[in-house]
Amino acid sequence: MGQGQRPLNGGRRRFVGVAAAGATTVGLPAWLAGCGRASPALEGGFAGIDMARGHALREGRWASQPVAKERRTRVLIAGGGVAGLAAARALRQARIDDFALLELEDEAGGNARGGQLGGLACPLGAHYLPVPGDDAREVQDLLEELGLRRREAGRWVYDERYLCHSPQERLFFQGEWQDGLLPLTGVGADTLAQYRRFAQKVEALRRAAHFAIPTLRAAPSAPLVDLDRLSFGAWLEAEGLDDPQLRWYLGYCCRDDYGAGLAQVSAWAGLHYFASRHGFHAPGDGLDAEREAVLTWPEGNAWLTRRLAAPLAGRLQTRQVVLRIEQTRSGVAVDAWDAAAQQRVRWQATQCIVALPVFVAARVVVSPSAFLSELAAGLTYSPWLVANLHLSSPLRDRPGAAPSWDNVVYGTRGLGYVDAGHQRLDPTPAPTVLSWYRPLGPSEFDGGDGRRLLAERPWEAWRDEMLAELSVPHPDLAERATRLAITRYGHAMAVPAPGLRARLARTAPGGEVQAGRLHFAHADWSGYSIFEEAFTRGHLAGEAAARAA
């Protein structure tokens, strides 16, 4: 991420955004100043995404513009997110260099872009990658290629510089910080008993079915089909798992991975969160101190997408709005609005990889296949907001667990914050950036129109909500905050609602989704917006297009 955002240091304009033209300097609300201190000025605004450019497609702003230029290429990739970048890598591996990749924003990467705030790198979206399992062999190959993993004495080891440093995560609960995110401080015996029962359920399902990442490698089975039919909340109720602390934690996990709550995601999705990776460990089972190994960087997963984009050079065309994709007798014609040159360009290609969100693909593909239209009609998306806050110095801390990479406040609308400086090897106190994540999909907190809120709510309102939430564990937050950059995603991720797995089995069976000369690649085709899903589908589409070209 980071398209539309400039480095935020020196005397340059701090932020470039749609709803906030240029920098804005405002005082914090009096209720946040606290203890009679004068509230410092906080510069801020929207950055990172050009919402107007994307909405222009929906509004048909350039539909009547004549074609001003024609270009030819062997393979055209529409969309420069993780799937599009993975497809480009697969084409290069197949020794196909005659291709072009069209990206809407100013930088490729999709939901895995990064930026800078006060000269410090920070994520604008996805900020970590779990160490992949054996099903994600394409991702494993990428990590080996980038030098992140290597074989030593017959086993794979990962570069410790990029494995998340300890402590990894903590929860502000009952007035103090505790290690881990499962509420433990002062909980009763009934709560602990429900933790153990849920752990037993997860382990039993892990043995009965294959919860794979990427999901296309999971063999169909009766348990998975049954779990797809009902919501996670309904499954918990049927199992008698009604403890408030357990349900809060599981709801947090759903909002974290899917952007929606227990009532909106399927039981398959809610259980997949645990069963596909590290399970669920109740206190006292001997494994509760175990943490899932994850790779992370100050700029988040932009570390990966920038390395995928680097070899593309002139083949990567940014600021391109794909308007129309049509199969012809001899190939594929793709019309795009070049926002830099302010002209409509028609690309002629023999094959096209459509690495666009499904709802966009269904809009721009002429005479879309039935499977594309069906999936587009059945998908719902969760909006997201990511706020990066620059701090002049480290925060004072409450009692309990030490400052961690991931820091969550119990019972809040947001998902807490990630510290972009956590991976620093120098222990000297220094400025840092906190990245606060706020899903806006339907949940126990939000039932309204999240996209409308993102488009209409001023940045100051998001600032106030974030500072109010994080000032509970950090009363000195406002006095140390200097700059704020807010990135909005109206269609951040597809929600794995009940029945989606069955719909995907009908519309997109197997790993390759193809209609004639069109090869579809996006995490939407998995109904699960994570790096492994997008990368695998992009890689497979690139291989298929290379064979056909």
The helix (H) or strand (E) run that includes residue 371 is: helix 370-378
Sign of torsion over alpha carbons 226, 229, 234, 238: negative
Instruction: Judge whether residue 28 has pLDDT over 50.
Output: no
pLDDT band, very low/low/confident/very high, at 13 (cuts 50, 70, 90): very low
pLDDT score, position 24: 33
Is CATH 3.40.50.1360 what the domain over 43-154+295-548 is classified as, yes or no? Answer: no
Q: Who has greater pLDDT, 539 or 292?
A: 539
pLDDT in tens, 310-369: 999 999 999 999 999 999 999 999 999 999 999 999 999 999 999 999 999 999 999 999
The Cβ of residue 211 has, within 10 Å, a number of other Cβ atoms equal to 23
The answer to whether the bond into 214 is cis (omega within 30° of 0) is yes
Determine the Cα–Cα distance for residues 391 and 388; give it in Å rounded to an integer.
10
pLDDT score, position 291: 61
Concatenated DSSP letters of 394-453: PPP--SBSPP-SEEEETT-SS--EEETTTT-S--S---EEEEEEEE-SSSSS--S-HHHH
Calculate the average pLDDT of the chain: 89
**Percentage above 70 pLDDT, the chain:** 91
pLDDT in tens, 214-228: 999 988 888 899 999
Residues with Cβ within 8 Å of residue 244, at least 6 apart in sequence:
none
What average pLDDT score do residues 417-442 get?
94
pLDDT in tens, 107-129: 999 999 999 999 999 999 999 99
Determine the Cα–Cα distance for residues 269 and 274; give it in Å rounded to an integer.
9
Cα-Cα-Cα-Cα torsion 511, 517, 518, 519, nearest 10 degrees, comes to: 30
3-state secondary structure of 40: coil
pLDDT in tens, 481-525: 999 999 999 999 999 999 999 999 888 777 789 999 999 999 999
**CA R_g for the chain:** 23
Helix intervals (H) in 267-369: 267-275, 302-309, 358-364
Determine the Cα–Cα distance for residues 270 and 296; give it in Å rounded to an integer.
24
Is 84 in contact with 102 (CB distance < 8 Å)?
no
pLDDT score, position 286: 60
